[in-house]
Structure 1
Amino acid sequence: MENKIVQGKSTGEWERQFPVISDIVSTKEVFWANPKVRKFSSAMKNISLGEKDVKDAEKRLKRFAPYIMKVFPETQKTGGIIESPTAKIPFMQRKIEAMFDEKLPGQMILKCDNELAISGSIKARGGIYEVLKHAEDLAVKNNLLKENDDYSVIDSSEFRKLFSKYSIAVASTGNLGLSIGIMSAKLGFKVYVHMSADARQWKKDLLRSKGVTVVEYKEDYSRAIVEARRQSLQDPDMYFVDDENSTDLFLGYAVAAYRLKNQLEEMNIAVDENHPLFVYLPCGVGGGPGGVAFGLKLVFKDNVHCFFAEPTHSPCMLLGLVTGLHDKVCVQDFGIDGITEADGLAVGRASKFVGKTMEELISGCYTVKDEKLYMLLSTLIDSENISLEPSALAGVLGSVQLLKSKAGKKYIKDNNLKDKMENSCHIAWATGGSMVPEEVMKSYYRKGRDILHRRFPDR
């Protein structure tokens, strides 16, 4: 690799200081345990957000439930609460053990955010929450709404007339754009979604069918967000959803942890000192996985171990955490192209806000090759009849990476977890998939099967 200067040091110096960078820039799969992670009580002293903020977000979502139930009938069975099931995947667990020749102790679970109503991905949490909060702020300011009102009244011409005076802009690789676009358009806002080059065509088509203005770029997410921010600064009535810095997005995601706690209790799955919980979260710019991981730490404290999962060609959060540079470094600075089939994770520069907030809470990061995402995609369909988009499979490999890698084994030893692994629970956060068109999913499946046949011709 060419010896470039990155923030005052040559890439060679960075590699000598942090040897894992050598494998990262070679786009090899890596597992990195965070040396800065601290006990929950110590780490939280440096963070301004807390449980009160997440509970406030949870209450706001409950206030909006009557409206959500009214305008999105598919949420009636959950009373207007946008939540996903949590499912055991024992057949997939056996398949993974055979595929990677690794016994996986404990049980593997899928958090099925691919089934979230309205936009079919994890972005239905933070994205929709931020739009709802903005709508509430405007309605209260204009004396149309009070907190103790029945929020189903928002589905009226009076509210749509108010919201039509305002615009919302967001930059996205795909799924955040869907959640912001669909929710904003339903409320009556004018919406602009700035889409990076890697965004799937079907996502752009779906947004346009909802009346959303889609602005396309030939460059990656970094360009899209610069242009979205610029557009919003020129219009005082335009609200910019900032995936890099938004605390509202972050808190909307964090609510998921409290709901997951209830689901695990209903499944009789214990999480305590002798029953560790491992959670693997696909990561792009960081808002979704960061918010969920923050909520999980609030709920389970030191008994949960959260890991971010990224594509080998777009490991922006990993590079930001390893170097401590966060948003001051992008993958292209180290000669990594940022090109990946995992469109939701195709981000070159991580969120400083998330990186700094989670710096002492996140247990580590790992990377996955694109071809493995497809292998796992087709295997999950065959074993459990669950269809995810490629980026959502990044979390499924987490337990293998933890148990097989040298750094993962050291993490288990250093945290006195070795004798507790048989009682462990491993949650792969399935971030999206239910809205993928059938023909597109079939092409993903065929690609995964082809890769499997090439790698395992005898099976």
Structure 2
Amino acid sequence: MNVTFTQKDKNSILEDIKSLKETVWINENYSKFKDVKKDLPLSYEDVLEAEKRLTRFQPFIKRAFPETKDGVIESPIMKIDNMKERMEKDFGKEIKGTLLLKRDDLLPIAGSIKARGGIYEVLKHAETLAINNNLLSIDDDYSVLAEDKFKEFFSNYTIQVGSTGNLGLSIGIISAKLGFKVKVHMSQDAKKWKKDLLRSKGVEVVEYTSDYSKAVEEGRKESENDPNSYFVDDENSKNLFLGYAVGGIRLKKQLDNMGIVVDKAHPLFVYLPCGVGGGPGGITYGLKLVYEDNVHCLFAEPTHSPAMLLGLITGLHDKVSVEDFGLDNKTDADGLAVGRPSSFVGKMMERLLMGIYTIDDSRLYKFLKALYEEEDIFLEPSALAGFLGPILFANEDNATHICWATGGSLVPEYVRKEYLKRV
């Protein structure tokens, strides 16, 4: 499992991308946060307002989803020392500093990072509808939203979304629980078990033989023709982004409780699997708000679907696709199977993101099996993309490195066994 990393020029990186080689791009426009934040379309106050909204909904979430216990949609973070030793052995390289795993695979309700943005956007839409129809006040106990009268009210409205899988799960599960009609437009990359789970929740699943972008396009078009339909736009939604950003600012309290210092002498590196960009972009923004120049975020994409990397390195954002470079956008990392990146997120990341690296599918499965053997943790393939990051960048004794696990707890047992046999 050899990995070599030397910074290459733009043309060499593009050639590696076209050849499906794992590659690393360090962002030449990476800037001081104080020089960037004044130009961003969202503020710290916007993120804090999103967190206040989630707090208002805690009584409802606690009532509707007892497994959350306190109604908070948050995940634990943990050391993975056994995995660290295994990676050092497999790669023949010391991983300096502390290695942590952020367990968004354990997020309540939807079992993936999409529970952050997806659930937040649906809750915000439900709140707006209820307040505008004089059924709710922000001073009310939001547990009333679980009552039949609200389900009857929301049943007059439809929520639609285009998805490769996990966003569809989060939107579908929370929307159906509130009483909305739900339609999830899913690309060919979406796993059968995810479609089956959605249908078991009463969600209408529309399948497409083409990729993610087509599912989004068709879902948006259909929603626009229905005045009572709301489309969750993974490519352009500020509300999704804010839901993810809350996860970034919450991380500080968790690290503080672990006694982990993040400052200039103790930098934090965070490795985030990336599809269209909303989840990792929102997390990055939240982390930058609390840690500024002491945190460095990197996105990880499959070699067959490096959409955000191409968008940023060319500066074309959503005007370029992986197909333009001869790539097929086919990867087992279904949540990352995106051919065209979010322009909204890409433009926000132009100066906030340290860089992007790509990872081959075969390596995802090696990490998947190693993590299961060493830590008894199962993640879905896309959630392992972050694990190559520490091999490439963990070169400082005083640094902390976080691999962001994006999903996996809802994967059926028969699928888990199949994945574990791949290596």
Say whether the 8 Å CA contact 2:331–2:337 is kept in structure 1.
Answer: yes
Say whether the 8 Å CA contact 1:128–1:183 is kept in structure 2.
Answer: yes
Say whether the 8 Å CA contact 1:18–1:322 is kept in structure 2.
Answer: no
Number of the residue aligned with 1:153 = 144
Number of the residue aligned with 1:432 = 407
Do residues 20 (structure 1) and 20 (structure 2) align?
no
Number of the residue aligned with 2:301 = 310
Do residues 61 (structure 1) and 61 (structure 2) align?
no
Do residues 398 (structure 1) and 389 (structure 2) align?
yes
Aligned-pair distance for 1:48? 2.0
Number of the residue aligned with 2:254 = 263
Aligned-pair distance for 1:257? 1.6
Root-mean-square deviation (Å): 1.1
2:312 to 321, 325, 342: 321
Aligned residue for 2:421, secondary structure, equals: helix
2:272 to 261, 266, 281: 281
Number of the residue aligned with 1:379 = 370
2:355 to 358, 364, 377: 364
Partners of 1:99 and 1:17 lie apart in 2 by 30
Partners of 2:85 and 2:323 lie apart in 1 by 38
Do residues 447 (structure 1) and 422 (structure 2) align?
yes
Q: What per-residue deviation string (whole Å, max 9, x for no partner) do you get for residues 112-158 of structure 1? A: 00000001000000000000000000000000100010000001111
Partners of 1:61 and 1:176 lie apart in 2 by 18
Matches within 5 A, 1:5-84: 18-76=11-69, 79-84=70-75
Change (3 A) 1:196 1:260: same
Aligned residue for 2:244, secondary structure, equals: helix
Partners of 2:302 and 2:92 lie apart in 1 by 22
Aligned residue for 2:240, secondary structure, equals: helix
Say whether the 8 Å CA contact 1:82–1:116 is kept in structure 2.
Answer: yes
Say whether the 8 Å CA contact 1:327–1:350 is kept in structure 2.
Answer: yes
Q: What per-residue deviation string (whole Å, max 9, x for no partner) do you get for residues 172-215 of structure 1? A: 00000000000000000000000000100000000000000000
Say whether the 8 Å CA contact 1:250–1:288 is kept in structure 2.
Answer: yes
1:189 to 180, 185, 190: 180
Amino acid at match of 2:244: Y
Do residues 349 (structure 1) and 324 (structure 2) align?
no
Larger displacement relative to structure 2 (153-162 or 104-113): 153-162
Partners of 1:399 and 1:21 lie apart in 2 by 23
Say whether the 8 Å CA contact 2:189–2:211 is kept in structure 1.
Answer: yes
Partners of 1:206 and 1:17 lie apart in 2 by 43
Q: How many residues align?
A: 416
Aligned residue for 2:230, secondary structure, equals: strand
Q: Which runs of 5+ in 2 are unaligned?
A: 1-7
Partners of 1:143 and 1:358 lie apart in 2 by 39
Say whether the 8 Å CA contact 1:31–1:402 is kept in structure 2.
Answer: no
Matches within 5 A, 1:33-182: 33-76=26-69, 79-182=70-173
Aligned-pair distance for 1:100? 1.1
Percent identity over the alignment is 61
Say whether the 8 Å CA contact 1:74–1:117 is kept in structure 2.
Answer: yes
Say whether the 8 Å CA contact 2:190–2:334 is kept in structure 1.
Answer: yes
Aligned-pair distance for 1:217? 0.7
Q: Which runs of 5+ in 1 are unaligned?
A: 1-14, 404-417, 449-459
Aligned-pair distance for 1:18? 3.2
Partners of 1:402 and 1:359 lie apart in 2 by 20
Number of the residue aligned with 2:4 = none
Q: TM-score, length-normalised on structure 1?
A: 0.90
Partners of 1:132 and 1:182 lie apart in 2 by 12
Number of the residue aligned with 1:292 = 283
Do residues 225 (structure 1) and 216 (structure 2) align?
yes
Partners of 1:339 and 1:383 lie apart in 2 by 29
Aligned-pair distance for 1:16? 8.6
Aligned residue for 1:239, secondary structure, equals: strand
1:334 to 310, 325, 330: 325
Aligned-pair distance for 1:17? 5.8
Say whether the 8 Å CA contact 2:10–2:313 is kept in structure 1.
Answer: no
Aligned-pair distance for 1:101? 1.2
Amino acid at match of 1:48: P
Say whether the 8 Å CA contact 2:272–2:298 is kept in structure 1.
Answer: yes
Partners of 2:17 and 2:393 lie apart in 1 by 17
Amino acid at match of 1:197: Q
Partners of 2:39 and 2:354 lie apart in 1 by 17
Say whether the 8 Å CA contact 2:368–2:384 is kept in structure 1.
Answer: yes
Partners of 2:260 and 2:10 lie apart in 1 by 41
Number of the residue aligned with 1:411 = none
Partners of 1:191 and 1:392 lie apart in 2 by 26
Say whether the 8 Å CA contact 2:248–2:282 is kept in structure 1.
Answer: no
Say whether the 8 Å CA contact 1:195–1:221 is kept in structure 2.
Answer: yes
Number of the residue aligned with 2:3 = none
Say whether the 8 Å CA contact 2:272–2:300 is kept in structure 1.
Answer: yes
Partners of 2:411 and 2:359 lie apart in 1 by 21
Number of the residue aligned with 1:235 = 226
Aligned residue for 2:397, secondary structure, equals: helix
Aligned-pair distance for 1:402? 2.7
Aligned-pair distance for 1:401? 2.5
Say whether the 8 Å CA contact 2:102–2:405 is kept in structure 1.
Answer: yes
Q: TM-score, length-normalised on structure 2?
A: 0.97
